[in-house]
Amino acid sequence: MSDALADWKPDVLGVEGKVLPVVTAPAGVLSSEGAEVDPADPAVVQLAADLVATMRVSPGCVGLAAPQVGVGAQVFVVDVTEHPKTVTAHGTFVLCNARVVEASRWRPGREGCMSVPDLTGDVKRAGRVVVEAVLPGTGEPVRLTTDAFEARALQHEIDHCAGKLFLDRVAGAHAIYQRKVYL
């Protein structure tokens, strides 16, 4: 099943992605559980392409979930290939209806979010996860095992799809910070 992901490229969506505006908190869509989607729905395929396009034009962006472009749906894109903390990477991929089915090696880390532009926070995330999802378009099921930064990014995006921000997971009352220059 994982081979499907290795071969996956945004081109297979077969539609041109549009760059969408990124929604910032407070916004209801960021705090609402996204709907499960039919991966074959043309609107979902278009959304997948739009997420890729929007991620690509956002400097430093390594992932983007549908609620961040105003759509309450369980769809997100991830690409951590260029990030220095990446160990395992699966390139660019879009997942629908993703679930974390195994999580271990919990580690703290400070993360920020395009939808919470002025703050960062300390959040514990699993350093190794297994995620099950389906691919947009084909609906092919995938089971993805990854670690380190890709694991953190997946958990962050899956949280978005569940209506959760990193603010819902910060380690303590003193664990949010004014965001510093990051690029």
Partner 1 sequence: MNELAITVIGPDRTGIVAEVSEALAGVGANLSDSTMTRLRGHFAMTLICTGAAAEDVEKALAPLQGVLTTVRAVAPEADADVAGEPYLVSVHGADRLGIVAAVTRVVAAAGGNITDLTTRLTGPLYVLIAEVDVPAGRADDLAAQLAVAAQELGVEVTLRRAESDVL
Binding residues for Fe cation: 113, 156, 160
Does an H or E element contain 146, and which?
strand 141-147
Tell me if 97 contacts partner 1 by CB under 8 A. Answer: no
Rounded distance, CA 157 to CA 78, Å? 8
CB 139 to partner 1: min, Å: 26
Query: In whole angstroms, how close is the CB of 7 to partner 1 at the nearest point?
Result: 25
Does position 179 interact with partner 1 (CB under 8 A)? The reply is: yes
Q: Which two tokens stand for residue 35?
A: 């709907």
* 3 state DSSP class of 147: strand
Question: Residue 60 interacts with partner 1 (CB under 8 A)?
Answer: yes
Residue 109 engages partner 1 in binding (rule: CB under 8 A): yes
Beta strand 141-147 with 176-178: parallel, antiparallel or unpaired?
A: unpaired
Say whether 157 is catalytic: yes
When asked if residue 94 is in the footprint of partner 1 (CB under 8 A), the reply is no
Q: How far is CA 68 from CA 56, 64, 123, 139, in A?
A: 14, 7, 19, 22
Catalytic residue ranges: 157
Q: Which residues bind partner 1 (CB under 8 A)?
A: 60-63, 83, 85, 109-114, 120, 149, 152-153, 156-157, 166, 173-174, 177-182
